[in-house]
Structure 1
Amino acid sequence: MGVVALADVAAGPSMGFLPLMAVGPAFAPLVGGWRRTAYVGGTALLLCLVLGWYDDMTTLRRGSVVVVSVVGVTLAGLVAVAMRRRREAELDSVRSIAEAAQRVLLKPVPKLAGRLRAAVSYTSAVAEARIGGDLYEVVAAPQGVRVIVGDVQGKGLEAVETAALVLGAFREAALDEADLVAVGSRLARSVDRQLDGEKFVTAILAEVSAHQVTFLNFGHPAPMLVRGGGTVDLPEPESYALPLGLSAHGTVDPQPYHAAFLPGDQLLLYTDGIIEARDGGGRFYPLTERAHLLKEDDPESALDTLRQDLLQHVCGPLQDDAAMLLLRYR
């Protein structure tokens, strides 16, 4: 508005810059409330009256039209502010409900589970979302600490719904079943009954007991074991089973396999959003080469360091959800 006023004074009444004064009240609702919009509109109206008198337009129809235009745009801006505030309130309400639902679905894992310390890092590929299609859980059962990390096919609300289904089935089975194979079988039956079409979930189940970890892999990336001496192992089954939800294809059930897990070792379970993250040159994130980043005493700080390194690798937002679950002995 100041530029328009200066241009009008410099050019004189012949150029007719005065109608551009309505641009100020038009943009005011985008950046402020009703007080600011009214203030900008009042300032524009005052400038129009002063410049109209200066240009000797007070008796001309054009001057009246400019004043009416500024008043009309200001009133429209006040209405727009009221509508924007109402929609912002509705959005805040919906967002608070969504965040509450997300906290119920992916509850914070216990920092201490049996003889283990646990930490989780989750980065959703969906802007302003805390969860997506990845899932995790830690359950301290009588047989040992049982965990799951999974990745649902797809994104958005449908993926969140499927993640809720898998987590609910695992939380119940992990406390009821005698061994990890029975947990996996019950989980597979529950998912098969409720998933439709070609939906599926890759998942890895683990049970830690007596310095040993047992795995059950449903088409999921191999876990990473970081030994106390710094060496890295990727325990893999002899043959991979298909993901959960695809048992109709007549595949064999996954077979359990074991690995030593001693004090001083670290077990990292993760989703493919970690190892498939690419940098600008198309290179995948070298997770095993970054195992030394997990050396910090606090497991949550160690995961945060690894997550920051991942974000630096991709130089931007992740294209897929990325979840990591770290287990250590106390």
Structure 2
Amino acid sequence: MKIAIDCRMYNSSGIGTYIREILPYMIETENEFLLIGKKSELEEYENLMNIEIQECDIPIFSPKEVFFFPIKKINKCDIFYTPNYNIPGGIKVPIYSTIHDVIFLDMPELTSKLGGLIRKIFYKRAYYLSKTIFTVSNFSKKRIEYHLGNKKDIVITYNGVSKHILEDDGAVYKKKDYIIFVGNIKKHKGLKTLLLAYKEAKKEGLTSGLVIVGNQNNFKTKDSEIIEILEKSEDEGIIFTGYVNNKELKKLIAEAKVLVQPSLYEGFGIPPLEALVLGTSIVVSDIEVFKEIYNNLDIEFFEVNNWKKLKELLKMNERIKSCSNLKNKQIRFTYKECSEKIKRKIFNG
């Protein structure tokens, strides 16, 4: 067989991480692959015998993607796989896709009415065109079925722990007195809840700093409520890291006392899993997917949006459940297993 894989998001965060992690396992077969994306990003695969790369930099979710995608080579393949719910137009071979979540259907307030309508069209189009849909949790599967229907074959693959977190780089990490938040600036990540909790906890004696992985200017220009909180918290130990590479992020998570993931919504939620591997204690909101992924592990939950409860947990961070390092234990979620589930379905039908 020859499988075409959309790799245009290879160097992005989120879905880019997903495709970078599964791709090495996906190509570990005797099958041939057509990788669609920028050759400069996919150069490590360029000289492999079973790989052909098709140069393409057409933006995702664009009219050009739907109406003018270079499909000639794709339609000579046996299968097309995309790691997202954007599907180019004109593809005649069976399509398999991963829909990580349907957040814009569950939380329409995250975008404009027009933006929500466009996303809804793309969600429905992906559902209609896909022979099989992969998703990353039972929660996401239920939400896909609720919004789009239950007529399709939906396979739960889960996400995994990235290679750079798992590999032994010989580094020695020493715990430091700070709390860490890893996430983007979107409202569903719950940063407002964390900032309110942290600000009040500092007033009541918390000594720990707060490290937010990201750029402060990005946060300030995107969310007026966060702007107001930050402007009143100038001297309260909040540090924005700016961009960090994988090595730096691993160190930041490993040396933190506590990782807090106060999300309002997730399809999976990877940072707590990485913290578990690195031996960092964890506090997460009690949203459904976190209960699914983390319920039987050493982890503290607080009621979603309840900054007062989170404040109390931060104040007693010395007594938060001690997280045992999972690195040398069996890890339930891996990208290898994720890839194997995708391959089994694609190759065996």
| Shorter-chain TM-score above 0.5 | no
TM-score, normalised by the number of residues in structure 2? 0.26
Higher helix share: 1
TM-score, normalised by the number of residues in structure 1? 0.27
